[in-house]
Amino acid sequence: MKPIFPVLLAVALAASPDKASAELNAEAGTSFRWSRAADASLARQEIYPAVLNSNVYVAGGVLTPPTGFSAHFEAYDVKSDRWTPLTPLPEARHHIALAEAGGLIYGVGGFSGGFPFWYAQATVFVYDPRADRWSTGPALPVARAEGVVANVNGKIYAIGGRAAATPGASHFNDHADTARADVLNPLTGQWTRTADAPSARNSAAAAVIDAKIYVVGGRQALKEPDGSLRQVNVATLEVYDPASDHWEVKAPMPQARGGLAAAAHGGRLYVFGGEQWVPDKKVFAEAWAYDPGEDKWSELPPLPTPRHGLGAATVDDRIFLIGGGEKVGGAQASRVHEVLVIPAR
């Protein structure tokens, strides 16, 4: 079994956006188009939505200022373009990742506490939409947050993120990136260790295509001699096949970015937004599509509102981009809700 905390990768930088754009088949300017949907009821970021029956569920999140965090839980009805408040999380969380399985919504891990006093949690909360009620599910084997979760064939996979590096970790800097991966079988209530990802990272995004999990982007928190952390974005795309318990490394994103959002549609991976801390601070508007058959990326029309820590969800021929931060860090959480309409192929 691999260590829980693999050695951090030093650098995983991509080609510059301008160079990447010139080398790709750009899809911007085709029939992809952006539209606006009803804003969320709460301005928040660091959210990981789930979809069930044409409803997009959003839980928890970081508020502005970033010392604030929430138990707020709501659902967006795609058909009516309306948000409905639901029973809040049992405890406030941010970076809690949602996944649907068996008609239930699972809220996995996440942090409690306001920055910089973040505590990674092992809790798993389970929401029943029919009863509008939360219950407690099987806890993660190792508490962690800022990872990704995905449902493949009814099982929930939790991959990467940040976990405590010291006993009783109570500060953001007390955590370290992990490549650890575990799978929950909701029928047995048991978590099982699976193959670790090739790289440790946090603030990545993920989506499922053809029963494989595509984990993309994110960043690595590299510790400096003075104990501070240097947040270095990565462009890496790694694909996990649960059937073989095997990982593959694919063509990296044209831009290295953390805090991005991802969704799948029509056998392709779509990624949006994100932020960068070094060498300079910026929030991204760029959007890209990845074709697994060709192992190539193409450029999409950019987000109308640049954001990071936003949530992405696919329903029918639309990808919904919800909330996020409009400035680097937690300075300006947003209620913005924009929709990418995908043309028929």
Strands (E), 139-265: 144-145, 148-152, 155-159, 162-164, 175-177, 181-185, 190-193, 205-209, 212-216, 219-223, 229-233, 237-241, 246-250, 261-265
Separation of CA 43 from chain center: 17
7 — pLDDT class (breaks 50, 70, 90): very low
27 — pLDDT class (breaks 50, 70, 90): low
| Mean confidence (pLDDT) of the chain | 92
Q: Are 326 and 64 in contact (CB under 8 A)?
A: no
200 — pLDDT class (breaks 50, 70, 90): very high
Token digits of residue 31: 């029939």
For position 13, what pLDDT does the model report? 36
Separation of CA 11 from chain center: 21
Worst-scoring range by mean pLDDT, 7-21, 105-119, 125-139, 222-236?
7-21
Going from the C-alpha of 212 to that of each of 140, 157, 290, 324, 333, the distances in angstroms are 21, 11, 14, 26, 32
Instruction: Flag whether pLDDT at 30 surpasses 80.
Output: no
| Nearest alpha carbon to residue 237 among 227, 229, 246, 248 | 248
- In this prediction, residues 25-54 reach a mean pLDDT of 88
**pTM, whole model, 2 decimals?**
0.92
Torsion angle defined by CA atoms of residues 120, 123, 124 and 126, in that order, rounded to the nearest 10 degrees: -120
For residue 134, the SS3 value is strand
Q: Are 42 and 59 in contact (CB under 8 A)?
A: no
Q: For CA atoms 128, 133, 135, 139, give the dihedral sign.
A: positive
Number of alpha helices (DSSP H) and beta strands (DSSP E) in the chain? 1, 33
225 — pLDDT class (breaks 50, 70, 90): confident
- Domains of the chain plus CATH, in order, are 17-341 (2.120.10.80)
